[in-house]
Amino acid sequence: MSKQSPYNFISSNRVNFTISISLILLCILLVINYFLQIIFTAQPVYAEEDSLKSVTHRKLNETERGNLSTGCASIQTSLKNLQKIDSKTRVLLGTSYQTILSNYVSPLNIRLIKNNLPDTALITNQSEIINTRNDFSNIFISYSQHLESLITLDCKNQPDNFYAELENVRFLRSKLEESVSKVNNAISKHLKSIEEIKNTLPNPQTTLDKTNITPPKEAK
């Protein structure tokens, strides 16, 4: 009976060990891939969606249902026009907010810090502008999704469902208007803070000139 070489035994164990490690790594990769698919395919849920639960939907009477059904074509046309206007407004506001942050707010704070003149109020204002701008973006996404849903609904044959979604859109639009006011207020607060620190600087105009930054005009 031939004896098994110890080297064969070691080699065999190495192969088994390598296979085990490979299987473990494969399982880990599969688990990671599974969770990545969940993360990237899941639809984001915004706080505004939860707030829609507070909307009280009024029931339509027969006259209102009839009016909706009769004027459905005209209503759909008006909603589509509103959607186009809102889309252009979103681009305009989004670009303006980003320009203010990138070209004015952030560079000014960076320059002041480099000159050993950091201002807590300006840094806080920058965070507030960023947060309110992000809130505006998230609310607009929810609003536009529900507006698109409203446009696709058959208001002639489904007046009750249409009106319920219309109430959702009205609610989100009011939230959208509030978010715009908050961003504008944050920008106004930042401008006020700039005016206040001018008087505290050793040479206000020279220090601000070094930044090569002209404070933005207040957003309308």
Percent residues over pLDDT 90 in the chain = 53
Q: Quick one: three-class SS letters along the chain? A: CCCCCHHHHHHHHHHHHHHHHHHHHHHHHHHHHHHHHHHHHCCCCCHHHHHHHHCCCCCCCHHHHHHHHHCHHHHHHHHHHHHHHHHHHHHHHHHHHHHHHHHHHHHHHHHHHHCCCCCHHHHHHHHHHHHHHHHHHHHHHHHHHHHHHHHHCCCCCCHHHHHHHHHHHHHHHHHHHHHHHHHHHHHHHHHHHHHHHHCCCCCHHHHHHHCCCCCCCCCC
Report pLDDT for 38: 36
Task: Give the pLDDT score at 162.
Answer: 93
Mean pLDDT of 66-79: 92
pLDDT at 100: 94
Cβ neighbours, 10 Å, residue 22: 10
Q: Say if pTM beats, i.e. exceeds, 0.95.
A: no
Cα dihedral sign, 76-77-80-82: negative
| pLDDT at site 53 | 75
Q: Mean pLDDT of all residues in the chain?
A: 78
Lowest mean pLDDT among 30-34, 108-112, 122-126, 160-164: 30-34
**158-197 confidence digits (pLDDT tens):** 999 999 999 999 999 999 999 999 999 999 999 998 888 8
Cβ burial, residue 105 (10 Å; 0-12/13-18/19+): buried
What is the model's pLDDT at position 48?
Answer: 64
